[in-house]
Amino acid sequence: MSTTLPRSLALLLALAALAPAARAADQHVTINPELAGAWLTPTGSWDGRAVLFLHGFADDMDGAGDLTKHTAEALARGGIASLRINFRGEGDRKRTDIRSTLQTRVEDAAAAYAFLLHQAGVQAARLGVVGWSLGTATEIETLGTHPSWFKSGIVWSSLAGDLGQFALTMPGAQQALKDGVTTQDAGWKKITTYRNFYESFRGVDLDALLAKYPGAFLAIRGSNDFLPNRDAELVKAAPGQPVEAVLIGGADHIFNVLAPSHPHADHAVSITVRWMERTL
Residue 252 forms part of a structural domain? yes
Q: Are residues 91 and 209 in the same domain?
A: yes
Domain of 100 in residue numbering reads as: 24-161+205-279
Q: Which among 209, 59, 230 has a CA at the least distance from the CA of 139?
A: 209
* Per-residue model confidence (pLDDT) at position 23: 56
Residue 269 forms part of a structural domain? yes
Burial of 159 (0-12, 13-18, 19+ CB in 10 A): buried
Within a 13 Å sphere around the CA of 62, how many CA atoms are in the beta-carbon half? 8
Q: How many domains does the chain have?
A: 2
Helix (H) or strand (E) holding 279: helix 264-279
Residue 223: strand, helix, or coil: coil
Q: Are residues 186 and 157 in the same domain?
A: no
Residue 96 forms part of a structural domain? yes
Residue 6 forms part of a structural domain? no
CATH number for the domain including 61?
3.40.50.1820
Q: Average pLDDT, stretch 136-140?
A: 98
C-alpha–C-alpha distance, residues 27 and 122, integer Å: 15
* Per-residue model confidence (pLDDT) at position 10: 34
Q: Are residues 197 and 218 in the same domain?
A: no
Tell me the pLDDT band of 154, cut-offs 50, 70 and 90.
Answer: very high
* Per-residue model confidence (pLDDT) at position 15: 30
Helix (H) or strand (E) holding 86: strand 81-86
* Per-residue model confidence (pLDDT) at position 2: 32
C-alpha–C-alpha distance, residues 194 and 88, integer Å: 15
Q: Are residues 56 and 186 in the same domain?
A: no
Q: Are residues 35 and 171 in the same domain?
A: no
Residue 15 forms part of a structural domain? no
Residue 31 forms part of a structural domain? yes
Q: Are residues 145 and 176 in the same domain?
A: no
Q: Which among 31, 70, 47, 28 has a CA at the least distance from the CA of 156?
A: 70
Residue 179 forms part of a structural domain? yes
Tens of pLDDT, residue by residue over 189-233, are 788 989 999 999 999 999 999 999 999 999 999 999 999 999 999
Q: Average pLDDT, stretch 267-279?
A: 98
pTM of structure = 0.90
